[in-house]
Amino acid sequence: MAHPSQLGFQDAASPVMEELLHFHDHALMIVFLISTLVLYIIVAMVSTKLTNKHILDSQEVEIVWTILPAVILIMIALPSLRILYLMDEINDPHLTIKAMGHQWYWSYELTDYEDLNFDSYMIPTSDLSPGQFRLLETDHRMVVPMESPIRMLISAEDVLHSWAVPSLGMKMDAVPGRLNQTTFIASRPGVYYGQCSEICGANHSFMPIVVEAVPLQHFENWSSLMLEEA
């Protein structure tokens, strides 16, 4: 859950998000070292009183400033590609959920069940209970079992939307007429908030996403209750 004046990422709640945080720290350290080196060179060149007007070229310097950036790019690219393929990997999901974007709410369908689907609308500020978050709470949460691979099928009915939950490292565009696929594993129980991340009209800001990760037994109880209500 984000908090006011937060500068960094939200706490990771999935293996993919943990990898993204590690890659962020890795890339940030490389950028910091490069910035420090460039700043040192600038200060040294400005402050030095030594000059040599007869140096026209230097093969050694050119080799260094050609090879060094290539090595740095490889150090950034290899971990990035690893995470990219890790995010696309879908192996034997335990549950498949189809999320459909509408103006301006989300609907969910658990395709492994015969008739388990529901709409998820934002709770108006006037109806919030104490402790609930303004513009983030929904009348129906997407409940998933923790520590289980979940496959998300994401699409839209009208215009472009984007299904995003930062703590889970999830962000996938919802495109009308196209079914996008991604996966996640909630590594611990909790309630994770997200929002539509693609401008989709006047009420774009009022399309929250709430994912509740619970133990398997609690999920089975919830799904049985939802099927009875249907």
How do 208-214 and 142-145 pair as beta strands? parallel
Whether residue 5 lies inside any domain: the answer is no
- Do 172 and 144 share a structural domain? yes
Asked if 111 contacts 152 with a C-beta cutoff of 8 angstroms, the reply is no
Per-residue model confidence (pLDDT) at position 230: 66
Q: How far is CA 83 from CA 80, 88, 195, in A?
A: 5, 9, 23
Whether residue 8 lies inside any domain: the answer is no
Q: What is the DSSP letter of 127?
A: G
- Do 220 and 135 share a structural domain? yes
Asked if the peptide bond before residue 104 counts as cis, ω within 30 degrees of 0, the response is yes
Whether residue 142 lies inside any domain: the answer is yes
Number of domains in the chain: 2
**65, 88, 111 - which closes a domain:** 88
CATH number of residue 164's parent domain = 2.60.40.420
Whether residue 114 lies inside any domain: the answer is yes
- Do 203 and 129 share a structural domain? yes
pTM of the predicted model as reported, rounded to 2 decimal places: 0.84
- Do 157 and 103 share a structural domain? yes
- Do 106 and 205 share a structural domain? yes
Identify which of 62, 151, 149, 156 has the alpha carbon closest to the alpha carbon of residue 106: 156
- Do 147 and 83 share a structural domain? no
- Do 193 and 159 share a structural domain? yes
- Do 193 and 141 share a structural domain? yes
- Do 79 and 121 share a structural domain? no
How do 180-185 and 149-156 pair as beta strands? antiparallel
- Do 144 and 31 share a structural domain? no
CATH number of residue 43's parent domain = 1.10.287.90
- Do 132 and 213 share a structural domain? yes
- Do 211 and 124 share a structural domain? yes
Whether residue 68 lies inside any domain: the answer is yes
Domain that holds residue 120: 95-229
Contacts of residue 16, defined as CB under 8 A and 6 or more positions apart, other chains included, come to 83, 86, 87, 168, 169, 184, 185
What is the pLDDT tens value at each position of the chain, 230 positions in all?
A: 777 888 888 889 999 999 999 999 999 999 999 999 999 989 988 888 877 777 777 788 889 989 999 999 999 999 999 999 888 888 889 999 999 999 999 999 998 888 899 999 999 999 898 988 999 999 999 999 999 999 999 999 999 999 999 999 999 999 999 999 999 999 999 999 999 999 998 999 999 999 999 999 999 999 999 888 86
